[in-house]
Structure 1
Amino acid sequence: MASILSTAEQTAVRDRKGPALPGALDPAFLTCVHCGLCSSACPTYLELGSEADSPRGRIHLMRAVVEGRLEWTPEAVGHIDLCLECRACETACPSGVNYHHLLEQARVELEGKGLRPARTRRLLAWMRDRLFPYRSRLEWAFMPLRLLRAVERLVPQVARLLPAFLRDLAGFVPRLPPAFRWRRLPEENPAQGTERLRVGLLAGCVQSVVYGPVNEATVRVLQRNGCTVAVPRAQGCCGALHQHTGAREKAKAFARRNLDAFEAAGVDVVVANAAGCGSTLKEYGELLADDPAYAGRAAAFAAKVKDVSELLAELPLEAPEGRIQARVAYHDACHLAHGQGVREQPRRVLASIPGIELVDLPEGEVCCGSAGIYNLTEPAMSRRLQQRKVAHVAGSGARIVATGNPGCMMQLEQGARRAGLELQVRHPVELLDEAYRAGEKRTS
């Protein structure tokens, strides 16, 4: 591959320092041998059949921009932002192309130069920058959305008069258990019995507000398995939305805040129960590699991060005694399967629960279309992928689908409602917690 490069290109590769876009040719471009194996794994290519909307096509496009053969036209920007950054192409790639690195560098340029359409810029300014990273704002925002959900359910004629955008937003809001109230987890949650580990839990933004019961179940399960769980008050957003959409400096600021918070908590392991957050935490070493004050600390922190299913599989977990008699389909969240390479551990957690019949889905590692706030910035493609995924769930005969990411959970719940499918969407740790508590009731 390198033999087709000019001498100047090869020099640029050898001397490269800093980001790939704009600037010198990134070595990741040269790793791609144009075999096309990534295309069959790419959700947008599967839907559109367009080379420009495949990973290989986007690599050609980005390289053309770097080499000055192409400008950032609206069409070119559209192809880049239609990518979900699910990283399925990286799993499929025999050459190990670091595709997400190239994509994120391209998006840094799109962000910095304001090249995206006005609607997308407004959505990012409000949803990414002003709303999602801040728990108290999210809580206030979700109150009227929950009211809209209630109106839609009770008086559908009135709901139909609302703008489609508002109805879609309300459709993403799951129904919380009747007894649930928004509350912050205690900072210190002691282990049951002998302490095996001191664990720090990333509470998350969407996870803590939209799926608070998942966090509570995570703490109970970890306590039961000998972990003291610290939930530092000083922690904040992981920075995933900013990292994936090109706001890299803001992502770095969030990373520094979390490093400080978890270091102060003195934990052995940092646990995430949201795939997108965990993947980003594991990349803090790369994100802060050029920060002299944080580079070493960030690498050490990233090495401590585990998905909750990873940690439970390693401990190993206490076998639950309670039964859940159900056929359960497992959906691989992209940033758990492709971003972190965690596939078997969640399945082992689910398989440990008596009564569960675990089934895999066709195209199990194809994105559901959530991808952060992709369902807001690219609603048409998101909905196509949602319908594709829900059709596979319906065909599985399962009435519970388990997945390890809040975005996937919201996307699947909304898709099931749209399809008229009776479906429970649960995090694996919720089902494990339910089995533990069922066992306690049986023995009491």
Structure 2
Amino acid sequence: MSIKEKEVLQDPPCSSQSLGNYLWDDKPDPDKWADCVHCGMCLESCPTYEITGQEQHSPRGRVHLIKSVAEGKLEVNEQFLDPVFACLDCRACTTACPADVDVGGLIEEARGQIRQAMPLTGWKGQVSKLFLKGLFPHQERLNSIGSLLKFYQKSGVQKVVRKTGLMNVMPPHLVQMEAIMPDVKQPVRKKYKDEEIVKAKGETKGEVAFLTGCVMDVMFSDINDSTVNVLTRNGNDVAIPKNQTCCGALHVHAGDRDTGRKLAKQNIEAFKDADTIVGNAAGCGCMLQEYPELFHEDPEWKEKAEEFSAKVVDVSKYLYDTGYEKPKAEINTRLTYHDACHLAHGQGVRKEPRELLIDIPGVEMVNMPNADRCCGSAGVYNITNPEMADAVLESKMENVPDDVEMISMGNPGCMLQMAMGVQKYGRNQKIVHTIQLLDWAYQKEDKEKEGK
């Protein structure tokens, strides 16, 4: 049964504008594809096209499909779903496009239409509902999961599970993820639960509000801790709004734009008194900056979202723009830097983290070819599309220099994916967040002063 036939049997969907076979509100925006002339400049930038060689898995191919549905030439069906959801949404094509066609925005809007026309059912629907609605928006539930994982790691259960091979009943890509799972520590929001503001060390030069993230604060709380340390070290009072929530990026990527809007509204209200909102996760920061895209049919909230998004900045750019103390202690290491897609392509932040790294005494930076090529993480893409994610990761690891000890980056999803690459291909590099390395240098400097 076609979508049009189904519509006859259902209540008619709301529609403020006719747009072919897109039958629900929040349709793909024609202005986003209007400037695409299918020139092909985007092809070499696209990881899925590189691997498949198929036109429908290229940026211009996907734009053509999205436009064709709007023109009534195609329907929202399985043939349309596959190329749209196979996209990594890495935004490299927009960087390469002479006309700046917003392919990522089109992909996310098309996914929203697909999930309204073809909602997930069965066990996939239940799992999606569990994580997207039952877990990520609820920090206390995530903290409980974190406590269980911490017990699993510290109690010896993890060693038993690995030694006995019990993990082998899981899909291979989940086994790989368990093997590189970071040590779970105390979330920053728990650590500072009794403090409205974490005061600057020394003279206060500014104040920022810190987005701790949802999974970020559970699985990567050490990075959040380093972020607070570095910001306060550089004269910033750090507010951590208690009613902040998940950024909604995973929901929007999955086509659940309604939940994405709900979370966006909560964050906009939570940070309404902030002048500057700092994040340390590329995907989250990019989502916050793109909140206006969720409200193009709601002028009131779009205005609020625009005011909000203008305040959002990645921590590396904030430090670079406002000035930071250059550490004096040496961290003697050779490292290379991976550009997270949503930092380089999504936020246009490239030189700032590199400058922070090379200002650390003893750090030798080695250039990574194609440093802004996607690693295959892409939110939960490495879970939903493991075969394609593995192929993208293999291509990425071929570009990692052999003679480095560390790989630095600014996104937790990338860190997990690259850690799997290091393990899978027998490498020995340590995966670090840029802010971690700066924090370690400060800590070493303080210890050296204490020892004198």
TM-score (norm 1): 0.88
Alignment partners' CA distance in 2, 1:219 and 1:24: 39
- Between Structure 1 and Structure 2, how many residues are aligned? 423
Task: Find the counterpart in structure 1 of residue 335 from structure 2.
Answer: 328
Note the 1:8-407 alignment, pairs <5 A: 21-22=22-23, 26-114=30-118, 120-142=124-146, 147=152, 155-159=162-166, 161-164=168-171, 166-171=174-179, 173-176=181-184, 180-182=185-187, 184-186=190-192, 187-263=196-272, 266-393=273-400, 395-407=401-413
Alignment partners' CA distance in 1, 2:305 and 2:321: 23
Shift of 1:324: 0.5
Question: Are the structure 2 counterparts of residues 323 and 25 from structure 1 closer, same or farther at C-alpha, using a change threshold of 3 Å?
Answer: closer
1:33-58 Cα offsets, whole Å, 9 max, x none, are 11111110011011111111000111
Alignment partners' CA distance in 1, 2:43 and 2:322: 38
* Paired residue type of 2:335: V
1:280-308 Cα offsets, whole Å, 9 max, x none, are 11122332344354333321111111000
Q: What runs of 5+ residues in structure 2 fail to find an aligned partner? A: 1-15
Alignment partners' CA distance in 2, 1:326 and 1:18: 58
Tell me if structure 1 keeps the 8 A contact 2:153–2:183.
no
Shift of 1:244: 2.0
* Paired residue type of 1:85: D
1:340-374 Cα offsets, whole Å, 9 max, x none, are 11101110111110110112212211111111111
* Paired residue type of 1:390: M
* Paired residue type of 1:381: M
Alignment partners' CA distance in 1, 2:63 and 2:399: 30
Tell me if structure 2 keeps the 8 A contact 1:334–1:367.
yes
Alignment partners' CA distance in 2, 1:108 and 1:98: 16
Alignment partners' CA distance in 1, 2:60 and 2:249: 24
Alignment partners' CA distance in 1, 2:149 and 2:417: 16
Task: Find the counterpart in structure 2 of residue 11 from structure 1.
Answer: none
Alignment partners' CA distance in 1, 2:352 and 2:423: 29
SS of 2:342's equivalent? Answer: helix
RMSD: 2.4
Shift of 1:122: 4.3
Question: Are the structure 2 counterparts of residues 182 and 29 from structure 1 closer, same or farther at C-alpha, using a change threshold of 3 Å?
Answer: closer
Task: Find the counterpart in structure 1 of residue 431 from structure 2.
Answer: 425
* Paired residue type of 1:219: V
Q: What runs of 5+ residues in structure 1 fail to find an aligned partner? A: 1-15
Tell me if structure 2 keeps the 8 A contact 1:275–1:333.
yes
Task: Find the counterpart in structure 2 of residue 7 from structure 1.
Answer: none
* Paired residue type of 2:90: C
* Paired residue type of 1:333: A
Alignment partners' CA distance in 1, 2:320 and 2:178: 36
Question: Are the structure 2 counterparts of residues 102 and 315 from structure 1 closer, same or farther at C-alpha, using a change threshold of 3 Å?
Answer: same
- Of residues 112-121 and 65-74 in structure 1, the stretch that sits farther from structure 2 once superposed is 112-121
Question: Are the structure 2 counterparts of residues 24 and 253 from structure 1 closer, same or farther at C-alpha, using a change threshold of 3 Å?
Answer: closer
Alignment partners' CA distance in 1, 2:122 and 2:45: 30
TM-score (norm 2): 0.87
Alignment partners' CA distance in 2, 1:133 and 1:392: 36
Percent identity between matched residues is 38
SS of 1:347's equivalent? Answer: helix
